[in-house]
Amino acid sequence: MVVQGAFCQQSCLGLAEWTGLVADERVRLALIATYTQLETWRPVAQDAARARVPVVAGPLAAGFEGVYIPNEKRVIINEHLLADGLPPLAAVAAHEVFHASQAFRRQGKGVDPAGCLEEEQAAFRWTAETYDRLRVYGPPNAGYDGIVQSWKQGKLRDVVLLQPAYQVECLGRELPNY
């Protein structure tokens, strides 16, 4: 799949499978931008496409930008991101598609709590790298700028560990704050 976009010098590459797996053109364009700009993310996208994981925009609970639902093999991107521009949309899509790729690679095997936290850190690396590469194609976003800064300082572990949602997801409960 080759498309034109401001984020490409001449044309962009994407996966033909996205035509059937990603109905929203804005989400597909965000994935294509990431695929084009981040060559190292391409195997991640290819794994998710092989697993036939659809990426859809839809409503999510407050505080959730995106989610990969393993038992449904589906990524949901919070629909409010559709209005936030390419960089945040692409960053969240890259993060969630990474989770789909990891699930595909694990072939149904779960992860222990430390593995879960490590996977979240790796997913946030894709969030940061994607946003950092594509930020020139959208307005500034302090939240994503903060994630990029944490990534560049080697502090993504703090980003993950300080979020109660990841504590619950990976550890089974929120950690007390002393």
Q: What is the pLDDT of residue 4?
A: 47
Q: What is the pLDDT of residue 89?
A: 97
Q: What is the pLDDT of residue 63?
A: 87
pTM of the model: 0.91
- Residue 82 contacts by C-beta under 8 Å, 6 or more apart in sequence? 24, 26, 27, 57, 89
Average pLDDT, the chain: 90
162: left (phi over 0), alpha (psi -120 to 50) or beta: alpha
Contact 30, 57 (CB under 8 A): no
Lowest average pLDDT, out of 7-16, 98-107, 136-145, goes to: 7-16
Confidence of residue 2 (pLDDT cuts 50, 70, 90): very low
The average pLDDT across 140-154 equals 96
The average pLDDT across 96-107 equals 95
The average pLDDT across 127-155 equals 96
Question: pLDDT of 152-178, one tens digit each?
Answer: 999 999 999 999 999 999 999 998 888
User: For residue 34, which amino acid is it?
Assistant: T
The average pLDDT across 88-106 equals 96
Question: pLDDT of 7-64, one tens digit each?
Answer: 455 455 567 788 889 999 999 999 999 998 999 999 999 999 999 999 999 999 988 9
Lowest average pLDDT, out of 77-81, 82-86, 91-95, 106-110, goes to: 106-110
Q: What is the pLDDT of residue 14?
A: 65
Domain boundaries, the chain: 2-171
Rounded Cα distance, 44 and 104, in Å? 10
The average pLDDT across 99-126 equals 93
Rounded Cα distance, 78 and 72, in Å? 17
Q: Token pair for residue 140?
A: 């500034």
